């Protein structure tokens, strides 16, 4: 089964990452990777309450990573594997324009 993560930047540029079923991280590892990146990239919570949902982390990390990190093959692949593993869905679209993860 095909599995991919697509990230749409505010500039309109799209990044496609092919993540096979074996390529996804397990849920705990994926969440840990996202937590680490959220802190490393100095991301800000998207909600006024300060509560950070997994989808919020996925959006905030992509926003802070920007084109430079998403274009880095190793980092982009790791991001896609973590997103796929944390969300548990085969296909994910991270749209920074609409602020959605579907």
Residue 78 above 70 pLDDT?
yes
Handedness of CA 79, 83, 84, 86 (dihedral sign): positive
- pLDDT score of 61 more than 70: yes
Tell me how far apart the alpha carbons of residues 34 and 5 are, in angstroms, rounded to a whole number: 15
Whole-model pTM: value is 0.93
Q: What pLDDT, in 10s, does the model give residues 6-57?
A: 999 999 999 999 997 678 899 999 999 999 999 999 998 877 777 789 999 9
Structural domain boundaries enclosing 36: 4-101
pLDDT of residue 47: 75
pLDDT of residue 46: 78
Task: Indicate the number of domains in the chain.
Answer: 1
């Amino acid at each position: 089964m095909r599995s991919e993560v697509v990230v749409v930047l505010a500039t309109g540029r799209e990044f496609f990452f092919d993540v096979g079923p074996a390529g996804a991280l397990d849920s705990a590892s994926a969440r840990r990777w996202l937590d680490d990146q959220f802190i490393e990239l100095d991301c800000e919570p998207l909600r006024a309450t300060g509560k950070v949902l997994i989808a919020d982390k996925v959006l905030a990390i992509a926003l802070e990573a920007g084109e430079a990190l998403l274009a880095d093959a190793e980092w982009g692949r790791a991001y896609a594997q973590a997103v796929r593993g944390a969300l548990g869905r085969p296909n994910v679209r991270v749209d920074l324009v609409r602020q959605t993860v579907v």
